[in-house]
Chain A
């Protein structure tokens, strides 16, 4: 299971197809006999993930995550304290890490092992803006490339019903869940490449699921399963 790479995986698929053609073309030039059928079989890769039954009695807490066609189940490995509440540390089987803030500011705040990692990020309410539209300030450090100290504002809009983006990105079980009482859309004018984010909130205003882009080609939908 891997959160990585929906893009990586897609690229690998694309490359697998190109490679398959290349290997047919090259198969006449090999140094030793090789079955092309075997090569084709090896060139194509795939993955699937199944949500375990009996989640309610599982000793582990699971996070469902999806990025494009790649799905993964992550397990809660640790909870770290922070100034703005606790942060859950989720592990994938591929040694990837998602850190998700708990509470009303539930966001992916940090990742490790993805093709683009947010090394850390922080959110605070912009004190300079008042009115009905809530504006947050976000600062983040991004790797690779040492893009540190990126600062941007986030504009939020609330909805009672799931917006279209939510309907596209989340499991139907979540969309129909009574636990979700409101939805929050968020975007940043300073980081248009990240597009819109959407979060599901419960009656207490806690974020229980989210869809968030860490880079133009890396967006992750996540949902706590138990």
Chain B
């Protein structure tokens, strides 16, 4: 039932209600009671009067255009001068420049042109009625051209000059009073103004404006800085922020059949409109019943008993967000599972597991009374993403390449209905242990009707059991989870696909009920506690620790405060500069950046700083700090800063900064014209080719880095899942030192002393059919408490701008001594590619890790291609060559690198050694996480820790561990 008929021009300088373009606003709140005809007439009369009143006013009643600023006046100074402060609704502040107004007007014109009969790009895909509705809506917009401002508080702007723009006298500044409404674009392409209700969700405003639930909306808060995609339907509702007074809501689905540019342009136009304000048209008679933003929560995706996302025993089609890492311990007698799950992509979860079978022995001859341990690898791939009508679908594999004891596959679908998430799937193998339905794939291929026996032998385990996947009888499974509004409690109920009557190792279990019940309690965003009742007779308990590796970071509280950046340089020039200014510069640089500065020289108006070593991960931050030092201290006639980066004597890159541009960037907010229309004339920071700076032969300041460096620390190593104990671990004290002969040649050594270990239980030496290049682990770690893991001499050099080399010799790693060399071709312009070659002649070291050597000797080396693929942030490292056992083959290392530098990867090696020769595991493989220390330390660091899990240590496909790899040495931060 129509309650009012409005559409009006939108904008702060003009607000005109025009009855000819009014649209109908239907509000459940207003239409809940029949509106008497007289009231409707009154509505129209009032609207007409309001329209007349406002159309006569040159300015809207609650917006004021502020006086023109002075030329080159700071926004902060301008606002303070006008007495505008924290009390004002600064979200309603609109700063428009000639350029920002033109930009928005162009966008608006492009939208209008797309709908014009002459250039009717969209006429092919849009009904005439829709076109005219769009046209009316676009015509009603009076472009304001508000430029983005990330900080609006004048006092805060004064503190943060990089956010404080310099104004020009032709700029226009407007400030609206706090609006009392939120704008919703209706499906009929009209604007609806709903009265602002504190805490009300997007859904509430959609209801008020009579917009039937779209899948989602773009929410543009009044500052207009960003459009947030908000899910509002039952299947995609997510945690959301309440719209603030003056916000805009654009439902998705308005743009059906429209090109993406139309949608994007409309969004941009509204973002540049500033806060929406006008008379409140629609309000609720009972605001307390409106949906609240805080009631919306993201779908809780939690781990099953197997570590992967799911209910209890059964998996769901959900996968965690990229970057997820979870460590879970769960117990349902007789199985205790330790699961480690990683998610490198939104569409993939993968991990490994140790299962303890409490009522079976590992093997009385090798492990005494230790219970059986099984290792396995899982993977789940998301095949379809959930939409309004389509469930999320995934296919998964359990015990993919292990002994196959628990191997199983499944296809599963999950669909969300508000707080409920329902799952239905079909499992094969262990995942469908009930085996109560024929395999539907058997109708297509008869070989799918039966499942070949699992390859449960020590020699063939570790292979992909391709011949068994999705074969044999299957079982259906399903379940549902309910998440409480607080998001802390999740209740789970499932129908198990396994009846435990076909358990491996003849270990069938009694099942009193196929229904499993459980509850998860989420403690913060890092710990889930699960309790359940499974098989109708067993209690289950699980603990899951999890984190998002992609968002790891630590505030750099140990770093010195960066020097403040003054708009003007020091008053002195080169001739009048203090005598020790370059020494001051070097010392301050070293303090601020963790660089070792060896010389400072001057070339015309450029100051050249040679950096011999660095311990920097975030180069942007380091360069900003260095620039701040140089700008604060370098004579005013210096126009450019150049940093020549060297590592181990090898010049890598020269980094150049234009002083004036950099200072401008750091001390004022770029005007819209500078931001959008034209790139800066000179990039403020640019990488240039390495230059051998002859200028450094006449330095103004020099320093020699320390020749002897070293430190004390601890080191820890462990192995899991062996027959002598589930965890064998050692904590050692470590001393390490380095002595530099020159910048490019040095000795490095480390000494370790075992402090704590449980190696007294370490008895088992794995059998091997190959030269024992890695399987004498026990002998190496138990023969002596005091060891000398490394003592080597290294020389590096540069053959050309892009070719680096190194030679080295000595005790290269705990198990090998010898000599070797490496060359690396790193074309800096390509950035994504590098090619390396290393050759080593090495000999097995004595078990005590002293200077003794054993008989085995081998030549080993690889050609390695390093490739940043540019696809889904995947980094590939492909190497081929001869391995320690003399076997030849190739290693593939694929990883996903996140923006913070953390990588999740997998590694696999195949050589000319047969699976039988290789032994248990069939071939070498592993999963790893690479974590820059920078993300976990309160100071900057360039070190990276690689934590690799390999199911087994075998002799095939084993590489020499080299202390210094040129690719890593020449890496410049991220």
B241-A95 in contact (CB<8A):
no
B199-A42 in contact (CB<8A):
no
- Residue B554, interface by CB 8 Å: yes
Binary per-residue interface labels of chain B (735-760) against chain A in the complex, 1 for a CB within 8 Å, 0 otherwise: 01010000000001010000000000
8 Å CB contacts to B: which residues of A77-122? 77-78, 80-83, 87, 89, 91, 95, 97, 99, 109-110, 112-113, 120, 122
B946-A42 in contact (CB<8A):
no
**Least Cβ–Cβ distance between A33 and chain B, in angstroms:** 5
- Residue B244, interface by CB 8 Å: yes
Binary per-residue interface labels of chain B (137-163) against chain A in the complex, 1 for a CB within 8 Å, 0 otherwise: 000000000000000010110011000
Residue among B711, B748, B965 making CB contact with A35, cutoff 8 Å: B711
A80-B87 in contact (CB<8A):
yes
8 Å CB contacts to B: which residues of A28-78? 28-39, 42-43, 45, 77-78
Interface hub of A26, A27, A81 (most chain B Cβ within 10 A): A26
Residue among A16, A31, A95, A122 making CB contact with B159, cutoff 8 Å: A95
- Residue A165, interface by CB 8 Å: no
A170 to B348, CA, bound (A): 53
- Chain B, Cβ-Cβ closest to A84: B87
Question: Total A-B pairs in contact (CB under 8 Å)?
Answer: 158
- Chain B, Cβ-Cβ closest to A145: B241
- Residue B117, interface by CB 8 Å: no
A27-B715 in contact (CB<8A):
yes
> Do A30 and B713 contact each other (CB < 8 Å), given the known contacts A22-B936, A89-B155?
no
B-side binding surface: helix, strand, loop or mixed?
loop
**Least Cβ–Cβ distance between A174 and chain B, in angstroms:** 26
> Do A112 and B554 contact each other (CB < 8 Å), given the known contacts A39-B713, A39-B937?
no
One of B78-86, B410-418, B891-899 contacting the partner: B78-86
B938-A36 in contact (CB<8A):
no
A27-B716 in contact (CB<8A):
yes
A31-B86 in contact (CB<8A):
no
**Least Cβ–Cβ distance between B82 and chain A, in angstroms:** 12
B712-A37 in contact (CB<8A):
yes
- Residue A159, interface by CB 8 Å: no
- Residue B800, interface by CB 8 Å: no
- Chain B, Cβ-Cβ closest to A150: B198
- Residue A151, interface by CB 8 Å: yes
Total interface residues on A, CB under 8 Å, equals 53
Which B residues lie within 8 Å of A28 (CB)? Answer: 715-717
> Do A8 and B936 contact each other (CB < 8 Å), given the known contacts A26-B945, A26-B947, A112-B155?
no
B86-A87 in contact (CB<8A):
yes
**Least Cβ–Cβ distance between A84 and chain B, in angstroms:** 9
- Residue A181, interface by CB 8 Å: no
> Do A80 and B198 contact each other (CB < 8 Å), given the known contacts A36-B712, A37-B711, A148-B244?
no
- Residue A149, interface by CB 8 Å: yes
- Residue B710, interface by CB 8 Å: yes
B945-A80 in contact (CB<8A):
no
- Residue A167, interface by CB 8 Å: no
Binary per-residue interface labels of chain B (934-950) against chain A in the complex, 1 for a CB within 8 Å, 0 otherwise: 00111101111111100
**Least Cβ–Cβ distance between B907 and chain A, in angstroms:** 14
B87-A82 in contact (CB<8A):
yes
A37-B86 in contact (CB<8A):
no
> Do A148 and B159 contact each other (CB < 8 Å), given the known contacts A45-B938, A120-B86?
no
A35-B938 in contact (CB<8A):
no
B937-A30 in contact (CB<8A):
no
- Residue B968, interface by CB 8 Å: yes
A149 to B89, CA, bound (A): 12
A100 to B715, CA, bound (A): 51
Which B residues lie within 8 Å of A16 (CB)? Answer: 938
Which A residues lie within 8 Å of B964 (CB)? Answer: 32
Total interface residues on B, CB under 8 Å, equals 55
B713-A36 in contact (CB<8A):
yes
B946-A95 in contact (CB<8A):
no
Which B residues lie within 8 Å of A9 (CB)? Answer: 557
Which A residues lie within 8 Å of B242 (CB)? Answer: 145-148
- Residue A179, interface by CB 8 Å: no
- Residue B933, interface by CB 8 Å: yes
- Residue B196, interface by CB 8 Å: yes
Which B residues lie within 8 Å of A146 (CB)? Answer: 221, 241-244
- Chain A, Cβ-Cβ closest to B749: A33
A149-B711 in contact (CB<8A):
no
- Residue B676, interface by CB 8 Å: no
- Residue A12, interface by CB 8 Å: yes
**Least Cβ–Cβ distance between B439 and chain A, in angstroms:** 44
- Residue A25, interface by CB 8 Å: yes
Residue among B87, B734, B938, B965 making CB contact with A42, cutoff 8 Å: B938
Which A residues lie within 8 Å of B160 (CB)? Answer: 95
- Chain B, Cβ-Cβ closest to A22: B936
- Residue B558, interface by CB 8 Å: yes
Which B residues lie within 8 Å of A137 (CB)? Answer: none
B245-A34 in contact (CB<8A):
no
B943-A31 in contact (CB<8A):
yes
**Least Cβ–Cβ distance between B75 and chain A, in angstroms:** 15
A89-B711 in contact (CB<8A):
no
A36 to B155, CA, bound (A): 43
- Residue A15, interface by CB 8 Å: yes
A29-B155 in contact (CB<8A):
no
- Residue B128, interface by CB 8 Å: no
B938-A43 in contact (CB<8A):
yes
A151-B938 in contact (CB<8A):
no
- Residue A19, interface by CB 8 Å: yes
A82 to B88, CA, bound (A): 10
A110 to B734, CA, bound (A): 52
- Residue B4, interface by CB 8 Å: no
Residue among B87, B554, B713, B947 making CB contact with A34, cutoff 8 Å: B713
- Chain B, Cβ-Cβ closest to A109: B86
**Least Cβ–Cβ distance between A28 and chain B, in angstroms:** 4
Interface hub of B221, B715, B750, B944 (most chain A Cβ within 10 A): B715
A29-B713 in contact (CB<8A):
no
A15 to B556, CA, bound (A): 12
A23 to B934, CA, bound (A): 11
Interface hub of A33, A38, A82 (most chain B Cβ within 10 A): A33
8 Å CB contacts to A: which residues of B243-274? 243-245
- Residue B714, interface by CB 8 Å: yes
- Residue A125, interface by CB 8 Å: no
A87-B87 in contact (CB<8A):
yes
A201 to B426, CA, bound (A): 71
- Residue B555, interface by CB 8 Å: yes
- Residue B931, interface by CB 8 Å: yes
**Least Cβ–Cβ distance between B280 and chain A, in angstroms:** 14
- Residue A24, interface by CB 8 Å: yes
**Least Cβ–Cβ distance between A94 and chain B, in angstroms:** 9
Which A residues lie within 8 Å of B155 (CB)? Answer: 77-78, 89, 91, 97, 112
A35-B710 in contact (CB<8A):
yes
Which A residues lie within 8 Å of B245 (CB)? Answer: 148-149
A24 to B713, CA, bound (A): 8
Residue among A30, A120, A147 making CB contact with B943, cutoff 8 Å: A30
Supply 22 A–B pairs (Cβ within 8 Å), ascending by A.
A15-B554, A25-B716, A28-B715, A31-B944, A31-B965, A32-B964, A32-B968, A36-B711, A38-B711, A43-B558, A78-B85, A82-B85, A83-B87, A89-B86, A89-B155, A95-B159, A97-B155, A110-B86, A148-B198, A148-B242, A149-B198, A149-B199
Q: 9 closest pairs, A vs B, by CB?
A: A35-B711, A36-B713, A149-B198, A26-B945, A80-B85, A28-B715, A45-B557, A110-B86, A146-B241
Interface residues of B (CB under 8 A from A): 80, 83, 85-87, 89, 153, 155-156, 159-160, 196-199, 221, 241-245, 554-555, 557-558, 710-717, 734, 736, 738, 748, 750, 931, 933, 936-939, 941-948, 964-965, 968
* 10 more A-B residue pairs beyond the given contacts A12-B555, A26-B947, with a C-beta to C-beta distance below 8 A: A23-B933, A23-B937, A27-B734, A34-B943, A35-B711, A78-B80, A82-B87, A110-B86, A149-B198, A150-B198
Interface residues of A (CB under 8 A from B): 8-9, 12, 15-16, 19, 22-39, 42-43, 45, 77-78, 80-83, 87, 89, 91, 95, 97, 99, 109-110, 112-113, 120, 122, 141, 145-151
